[in-house]
Amino acid sequence: MQTTVFCANDSEKLAAAGALLRGGGLVAIPTETVYGLACSAFRPEAVSRVFAAKGRPSDNPLIVHICELSQLSLLWAEIPPEALRLAEAFWPGPLTMIARKHPSVPDEVTGGLDTVAVRFPSHPAARAVIAAAGVPLAAPSANLSGSPSPTSAAHVCRDLSGRIEMILDGGDCDFGVESTVLDLTRTPFAVLRPGSVTPEMLRSHIPDVITDPAVLRPLAEGEAARSPGMKYRHYAPNCPVIALSGPGAGSAQYIRANRREGDAVLCFEEYLRTFADCPSVSYGREKDAADLARGLYASLRLLDGGGHARIFAQCPPLSEEYLAVTNRLCRAAGFHILHLDEKGAEL
Ligand code: AMP
Ligand code: MG
């Protein structure tokens, strides 16, 4: 299959993407979080093609994207009143909410669950494509399962060229990590995947929001995943990754003391020069959670396939502000994480 790449600013191409999607085609679209691989949420055969193109396990459900609140009644059996409060505060934007599904939502989208995750993206091209398609779009991240999520059209091309009809290039993504996923079907409401909308931001609207404990540790043997995505190995490089959480000065000292020939470093921008003598990539400024999130996946892609023995990753301290970045790095490290003080000693 030939994959064509168009500029996401071109209104004719956006209309063509809409028609393609209505007819069961697959289109990768820019969003404010990461690029999504979109299909009509109401065409089960197109949904199945998305799973096949990505190599995604069929029980890992997709998020459905809308461009107006009236589309919620097509997707949810009942609209929880709290969802409307949160929508008022955070939509359009990087928050996904899970509620009981409407019977007409195909099982292919939800992986057989009786709930469905919905998001209203803020990216103008994403909204324009959903509007042009005239239906809500199911869209997981537009990467091959197991590789880092794509934050540019070039990343999508590398993973999915020849497997999908169209890629819309909208430049680099603003946030760079996937949306916050909030489960509204059990109380207290729980964050199943941290993103740019932090638990603290959610709690200023719904006071008792919690973070699911499986966000920062592996599932225990026999433990049921509240989100099927928690069961699966996400991005993990071929070599061991050691996540070093704490002040940058401490993790830098630890790396200098412990690294060996063949090791590589994923570091904060402030430390890049001090690691000039080994393969090193920076992903953002230490104290800037948004900057780190924006750069993380592209930096991991740069390090990937470099034939490194191990990757040491400087990782922010554990706090809600940095939870999205820490969670992705913990997963890439197979939860191999060391907590260090400012001198590089293990806590
Ligand atoms: P992605 O599509 O790659 O952004 O991943 C979507 C994430 O949301 C995965 O971790 C899914 O397991 C999770 N998810 C989607 N729908 C549901 C749902 N109905 N219940 C629980 N988790 C969900
Ligand atoms: Mg994904």
Pocket test for ligand 1, best of 95, 192, 226, 232 (most atoms within 8 A of CB): 192
CA 235 to ligand 2 center in whole angstroms: 9
| pTM for this prediction | 0.97
Instruction: Tell me, yes or no, whether 80 lies in a domain.
Output: yes
* Protein residues with CB under 6 Å of any ligand 1 atom: 60-63, 98, 110, 113, 115-117, 140-141, 178, 181, 192-193, 227-229
Q: Are residues 30 and 129 located together in one domain of the fold?
A: yes
Return the CATH number at 165: 3.90.870.10
Which residue has the CA at smallest separation from atom 1 of ligand 1? 140
pLDDT average, residue stretch 28-44: 98
Per 3-state DSSP, what percentage of the chain is helix, strand, and coil (rounded to 5)? 35, 20, 45
pLDDT at residue 112 is higher than 80? yes
Pocket test for ligand 1, best of 115, 184, 193 (most atoms within 8 A of CB): 193
Confidence tier at 66 by pLDDT (50, 70, 90): very high
Instruction: Tell me, yes or no, whether 253 lies in a domain.
Output: yes
Q: Are residues 60 and 174 located together in one domain of the fold?
A: yes
Instruction: Tell me, yes or no, whether 224 lies in a domain.
Output: no
Which residue has the CA at smallest separation from atom 14 of ligand 1? 61
Q: In whole angstroms, give the CA distance from residue 58 to residue 166.
A: 23
Q: Are residues 24 and 141 located together in one domain of the fold?
A: yes
* All residues with CB under 5 Å from ion ligand 2: 141
Confidence tier at 282 by pLDDT (50, 70, 90): very high
Instruction: Tell me, yes or no, whether 208 lies in a domain.
Output: no
pLDDT at residue 278 is higher than 80? yes
Instruction: Tell me, yes or no, whether 297 lies in a domain.
Output: yes
**Contact between residue 192 and residue 227 where contact means Cβ atoms under 8 Å apart:** yes
pLDDT at position 101, please? 98
Question: How many independent structural domains does the chain possess?
Answer: 2
Label residue 189 exposed, middle or buried (CB < 10 Å: 0-12, 13-18, 19+). Answer: buried
Length of the chain: 347
User: What are the pLDDT digits (tens) for 215-249?
Assistant: 888 888 888 888 988 887 677 788 899 999 999 99
Which residue has the CA at smallest separation from atom 20 of ligand 1? 227
Of the three residues 167, 184, 201, the one that is the final residue of a domain is 184
Q: Are residues 280 and 177 located together in one domain of the fold?
A: no
Q: Are residues 39 and 167 located together in one domain of the fold?
A: yes
CA 289 to ligand 2 center in whole angstroms: 20
User: What are the pLDDT digits (tens) for 327-341?
Assistant: 999 999 998 999 999
Q: For residue 318, what are the domain limits?
A: 241-339
Q: Are residues 123 and 52 located together in one domain of the fold?
A: yes
**Long-range residue pairs from 98-103, CB within 8 A, at least 24 positions apart, any chain:** 98/181, 98/182, 98/183, 98/184, 98/185, 98/192, 99/184, 99/185, 100/76, 100/185, 101/75, 101/76, 101/77, 102/73, 102/74, 102/75, 102/76, 102/77, 103/77
Q: Are residues 86 and 170 located together in one domain of the fold?
A: yes
Q: Are residues 37 and 105 located together in one domain of the fold?
A: yes
Instruction: Tell me, yes or no, whether 210 lies in a domain.
Output: no
Of the three residues 184, 205, 223, the one that is the final residue of a domain is 184
pLDDT average, residue stretch 74-79: 98
pLDDT at residue 131 is higher than 90? yes
Instruction: Tell me, yes or no, whether 153 lies in a domain.
Output: yes
Of the three residues 184, 206, 224, the one that is the final residue of a domain is 184
pLDDT at residue 259 is higher than 90? yes
Q: Are residues 284 and 165 located together in one domain of the fold?
A: no
Residue 42 identity? F
Which residue has the CA at smallest separation from atom 10 of ligand 1? 229
Q: Which of 23-32, 35-44, 134-143, 317-326 has the lowest mean pLDDT?
A: 317-326
**Contact between residue 14 and residue 123 where contact means Cβ atoms under 8 Å apart:** no
Q: Are residues 179 and 258 located together in one domain of the fold?
A: no
Whole-number mean pLDDT of the chain? 96
Q: Are residues 261 and 153 located together in one domain of the fold?
A: no
Instruction: Tell me, yes or no, whether 219 lies in a domain.
Output: no
Q: Are residues 13 and 145 located together in one domain of the fold?
A: yes
Q: In whole angstroms, give the CA distance from residue 53 to residue 267.
A: 32
Q: For residue 76, what is the DSSP state?
A: B
Return the CATH number at 310: 3.40.50.11030
First CA to last CA distance, the chain: 53
